Amino acid sequence: MIPTQTKLIDSDGNAFGLKTVNGKPRVSSMTYLYDIAEGNIPNHRGISKFGYDATAGAGNIEVWSGSRAYPYMTTASTLYLSSSDTNDDQPYRIFGLDEYWDEQEVEVTANGFVAVELPGTWIRVFRVINLGITNNAGIIYISLDADPGVDGIPDTIATDSKAEIPVGYNQTLMSIWSVPRDYKAYVTSFYASCAAATSKPVDIGLWARPFGGVFQIKKIMSIDSGSVAKIVYDFPLLVEGKSDIRITANASGASQISAGFDLWYEKG
């Protein structure tokens, strides 16, 4: 006996099917973003990026622990991990994009001042985490410098260092991220705070740079010392594949700034 095929008909008389996940009908009572977080929607991922700058000053400078303008890579290159403390020997996981702008994730073990080569080539690095059982004693650098010398610090730090873990934090602090190719990102919110001190207004900017283009401001807000601000999008901000996303601070005087953004990204 051939089983009867059941179809649903909309109000215009057109047949339609039920949306499925991994071949199975799914009806969820959770919000869309919770389903993404639980891994229930294939090819969808969520990410929260956060950064900190202890000495943010004038100019629209990226909020990251490097406390200087971020040196974006223009060509894919080999990268190296080193520490400013000779005793650091923990394993680290590095996240970024390869030469094709595809996601890439590797693990290497630190060797103190000695530069350890990362497998593959890289066009972006946007997160590094300590997988060991002890805190990082020195600053962990991901850089272009294959021979950082006797102190483990990249020789030309302003241009060579692409990611840094401050002492004891065990993870990078950088409000910077790039969309993998063949994906689209949807920014749902961003925020910033300024440590309490002498009154120092700070302009916080959310920017996106399409591939081959320039950074475009997408939202700007002004905060004062000791204040916190957050913007939640009613309609998420769409950012195309191979685009860079960043948060910048422009402060009237040296300020401690924390900032970050949340998004999901999906393939197709």
The answer to whether residue 185 is domain-embedded is yes
Q: In terms of domains, do 117 and 186 share one?
A: no
Residues of the chain below pLDDT 50:
none
pLDDT score, position 17: 62
For 74-101, write each residue's pLDDT tens digit: 999 999 999 999 999 999 999 999 999 9
pLDDT score, position 30: 66
Q: In terms of domains, do 183 and 254 share one?
A: yes
List b or e across 203-224, with b for residues whose CB sees 16 or more CB atoms inside 10 angstroms: ebbbbbbeeeeebeeeeeeebe
Instruction: Write the CATH number for 63.
Output: 2.60.120.20
Q: In terms of domains, do 243 and 190 share one?
A: yes
What stretch of H or E contains 16?
Answer: strand 15-16
pLDDT score, position 39: 83
> How many CA atoms within 13 Å lie on the side-chain side of 183?
23
Alpha carbons 201 and 146: distance in angstroms, whole number: 40
155: left (phi over 0), alpha (psi -120 to 50) or beta: alpha
pLDDT score, position 22: 61
Structure tokens at 162: 């692409």
Q: Could you tell me which residues come within 8 angstroms of residue 119 by beta carbon, excluding any fewer than 6 positions away?
A: 106, 108
3-state helix, strand, coil in the chain (%, to 5): 5, 50, 45
* Opening angle at CA 187, ends 184 and 191, nearest 5: 155
pLDDT score, position 123: 98
Q: Is the pTM of this model over 0.85?
A: yes
User: Distance between alpha carbon 103 and the CA centroid of its chain, in Å?
Assistant: 12
Q: Which residues face 161 on adjacent strands?
A: 143
pLDDT score, position 190: 97
What is residue 54's three-state secondary structure? Answer: strand
The answer to whether residue 180 is domain-embedded is yes
pLDDT score, position 218: 98
Please, are residues 194 and 255 in contact by the beta-carbon 8 Å criterion? yes
pLDDT score, position 2: 53
Structure tokens at 171: 């993870």
Q: In terms of domains, do 151 and 122 share one?
A: yes
Domain of 118, in residue numbers: 80-165
Domain boundary among 165, 187, 210: 165
Domain boundary among 124, 142, 165: 165
Q: How many domains does the chain have?
A: 2
Domain boundary among 134, 165, 196: 165
Count other C-beta atoms under 10 Å from residue 76's C-beta.
16
Please, are residues 174 and 185 in contact by the beta-carbon 8 Å criterion? no
For 242-260, write each residue's pLDDT tens digit: 999 999 999 988 899 999 9
Q: Which residues face 33 on adjacent strands?
A: none
Q: In degrees to the nearest 10, what's the CA dihedral of 67, 72, 78, 80?
A: 10
